[in-house]
A and B are shown apart, each in its own frame.
Chain A
């Protein structure tokens, strides 16, 4: 990492640790939400930014994770076991969903995840005996960490932050390993990657399954954070939101999800001036951004930095942009 990057990272890390001491409870809630959603966004970034697949079910996976924890912990299962169960369950479901869908071209995964997300919502809403239906589940307990109670806002924030750091490190490790190289290969040049022995289908499936499990882990923290979950929290809207977080932050950039989630959490506050039209403004902004800067905020920053330092290199990468035929019908 360059000197500039390291400095920025250090400043942000310091701010993240210091922030809860200067914020009121609502502020702490906001940054906790940012941390938890970043985890889900990191997962989606794996699927979209590294493997080039659109998943519209990340919100559903967050929901599955949340309900898993909310249903297990009251029966006496320790939080961290439930946490891991949420991750494993979502990994398995992701694998099962992705396996058939990724055998075909045409972004079938997008449609399958769209359908799956809707199905999950229906099950959550209808199976009242299990999920309490539209009445939701309240009061999911926050865990104790080696005897330290985590139920206070500040302590729970640090717990979430700790989980984020661990998961980020694990993701970083994966991306630095030969797997990461295979992901870049399959993103940059899937034809060539196949011809040198990279099993693109298997790597894509892994990325999607791992991405989905990160969604589940995010949900596992979400339940004790907001303390009231209901099916309406996990509709397609959340999946869209997470998708936009990844795009706006910069799809395929490691810190993209962090930036995107921060913007998404703060945006409703900033756009309060638009008074309820904020979704329209948001959607319009995304369309504009896709037309001029599909590489998101981090992509834009990279371009600016490159311009300022006067280096002329190969044009910035645009994630997942291999056109399916050589000619896009212009």
Chain B
């Protein structure tokens, strides 16, 4: 029982990170039809910004802020202007292919220009274990959960309680209508990219102490984001959160009870099952058939 609770808690922590990544992915899709295949690499990269800043002498807290700022610029603004905007007029397919190429580009760039070795990454709090009813829980997991929950709550407040947030939601639901109603659609789309950049940066800082910063991190994290988004329902932010959490918990539980060789297979099988049985995901609506 104790180990189950431990697994549950660490699963929730992992799931919270997956949720952040999946939410950003879903937001990009909703507002600008961008299927970002490089989302995993987007989570891998900010950790290296932070490490580079620390190598230049900055203390961790400052390096983290620099990392987030650089993410906003590179993964938000530059990504939109250089990769997405020129491609939109050609439709979804060339854009997807571009993001596939981008994921390769980012991965190889980190490998060649920083290091191919896994780099240790500082934790947010010193790793102490707390005993709760005989279960050993690391402060790390609790902090990750706390930060992730705080981020999600903040995002929720932004989207639902502010005028800006409601404008963004309107853009996501029906850009043409939003434009007619006076919403500055281009700017809303830009904000979505910026929000995604912040989300992946936070996820990066949370996950890198656990996985170590490695150029290959993008593969598993990206896959987790896609699966979480699909499980939850591709077009729903709440679905992405739910999908992420479920995936994190199941993933951790399976690691304990399934052979490690096939550890990575479990989320993939979940994906195939979901697509077979309920392709619209847990919270998604059955889409209008346009084709």
Contacts and interface: CB of A to CB of B under 8 A. Distances in A.
Given A118-B264, A323-B91, A291 B98 contact: yes
Interface stretch (B57-65, B159-167, B269-277): B269-277
B94 interface: yes
A296 B185 CA distance: 32
B223 interface: yes
B108 A118 contact: no
A54 B93 contact: yes
Interface of A: 48, 52, 54, 56, 100-101, 103-108, 110-112, 114-116, 118-119, 122, 125-126, 190-191, 194, 200, 236, 240, 243-244, 247, 276-277, 279-280, 282-284, 286-287, 290-292, 294, 318-330
B106 to A, nearest CB: 9
A328 B185 CA distance: 11
B175 A327 contact: yes
Nearest to A125: B261
B261 A126 contact: yes
Given A122-B262, A280-B112, A329-B185, A287 B105 contact: yes
Contacts of A283: 101-102, 104-105, 108
B118 interface: no
B172 to A, nearest CB: 9
Given A191-B290, A194-B291, A321 B93 contact: yes
Given A126-B261, A277-B112, A118 B90 contact: no
Contact of B279 (A107, A108, A282): A108
Given A286-B97, A287-B105, A294-B90, 12 more contacts: A104-B280, A110-B37, A111-B226, A115-B272, A291-B98, A321-B91, A321-B93, A322-B91, A323-B33, A329-B88, A329-B171, A329-B185
A177 B50 CA distance: 58
Given A112-B272, A327-B175, A105 B290 contact: yes
Contacts of B272: 112, 115-116
Nearest to B219: A236
Contacts of A330: 85, 88, 185-186, 189
A107 B92 contact: yes
Contact of A244 (B101, B262, B271, B287): B101
Contact of B91 (A54, A112, A320): A320
Nearest to A241: B104
B234 interface: yes
Given A103-B279, A111-B230, A320-B93, A290 B98 contact: yes
Contacts of A236: 219
Interface in B250-291: 261-262, 264-265, 267-269, 271-272, 275-276, 279-280, 287, 290-291
A287 B185 CA distance: 25
B234 A106 contact: yes
A318 B223 contact: no
A114 B275 CA distance: 13
Measured as residues with beta carbon below 8 angstroms from the partner, the interface class of chain B is 35 or more
Contacts of A106: 35, 234, 287
12 contacts: A54-B96, A108-B275, A111-B230, A126-B262, A291-B98, A294-B90, A318-B94, A320-B91, A323-B91, A324-B33, A329-B171, A330-B186
Contacts, number: 155
Contacts of A276: 112
Interface string B71-111: 00000000000010111111111111110111011001100
Given A194-B291, A330-B185, A122 B261 contact: yes
Contacts of B31: 329
Contact of B226 (A52, A114, A240, A286): A114
B44 to A, nearest CB: 15
B245 interface: no
A127 B32 CA distance: 42
Contacts of A318: 90-91, 94
A277 to B, nearest CB: 6
B68 interface: no
A290 B33 contact: no
A322 B287 CA distance: 17
Interface string B174-196: 01100000000110010000000
B137 interface: no
B277 to A, nearest CB: 8
B104 A112 contact: no
A236 B207 CA distance: 24
